[in-house]
Amino acid sequence: MAVRLRLTRMGRKKRPFYRIVAVDSRAPRDGKYLENLGYYDPKKEPFEVKLNEERILYWLSVGAQPTDTVRSLLRREGILFKWDLIRRGLSEEEMQEKMKMWEVIQLERKRKLERELAEKKAKKKEARAEEVEEKAEAEAAPESEAAAEGTAEEGADSEAGEATEPEEGEETKENA
């Protein structure tokens, strides 16, 4: 019997929740399984994974093959790395040392991703602020042009009025 480690769907419509199970490869996706090994909730932010590491290592040792999705979950949790160390025949001390190094590397990657995400958000925020300023300037420009034209017209009227006013010493029809 070929055993696979795969996901079986639970949850309701549009709200998936998966169990990670050991199952005969010929069984249907949501059919009978040999053992429940954990769960995966992709809808939570960040997604939630809980695994029974001891039982997963057992099933891998007896030849169970994980599906691609389960393999990626196991890799993310470090179980496949631990399985590789066991297969190499390393001692417990060496395995613990390598696992600590792996955890440090994972923390560095996580921090780097968070930093990049924060920088990306800051750039987006700056770009939005610039767009708002440009829109405000674009809206203000026609108003200032209209205001400038209005003051120019008023200035032209006042200049025309000044030209018709007599200077000192000149007589107008009213004064004469």
> What is the pLDDT, as a whole number, of residue 16?
92
CA distance 140 to 53: 64
Q: Confidence class of residue 1 from pLDDT cuts 50, 70 and 90? A: confident
CA distance 18 to 37: 11
Scored b (16 or more CB within 10 A) or e, 76-92 reads ebebbbbbebeeeeeee
* Residue 82 and residue 99 in contact, taking contact as beta carbons nearer than 8 Å: yes
Q: Tens digits of per-residue pLDDT, 42-59?
A: 988 888 899 998 999 999
Task: Name the CATH superfamily housing domain 3-89.
Answer: Ribosomal protein S16 (3.30.1320.10)
Cβ neighbours for 34, distance < 8 A, ≥ 6 positions apart: 3, 21, 22, 23, 24
> What is the pLDDT, as a whole number, of residue 131?
86
pLDDT at 163 over 60: no
Q: Tens digits of per-residue pLDDT, 109-157?
A: 889 988 998 999 898 888 888 888 888 888 777 766 666 666 655 555 5
> What is the pLDDT, as a whole number, of residue 138?
80
pLDDT at 165 over 80: no
> What is the pLDDT, as a whole number, of residue 130?
86
Quick one: three-class SS letters along 17-85?
EEEEEEEECCCCCCCCCCEEEEEEECCCCCCEEEECHHHHHHHHHCCCEECHHHHHHHHHHCHHHHHHH
Q: What is the pTM for the complete model shown?
A: 0.64
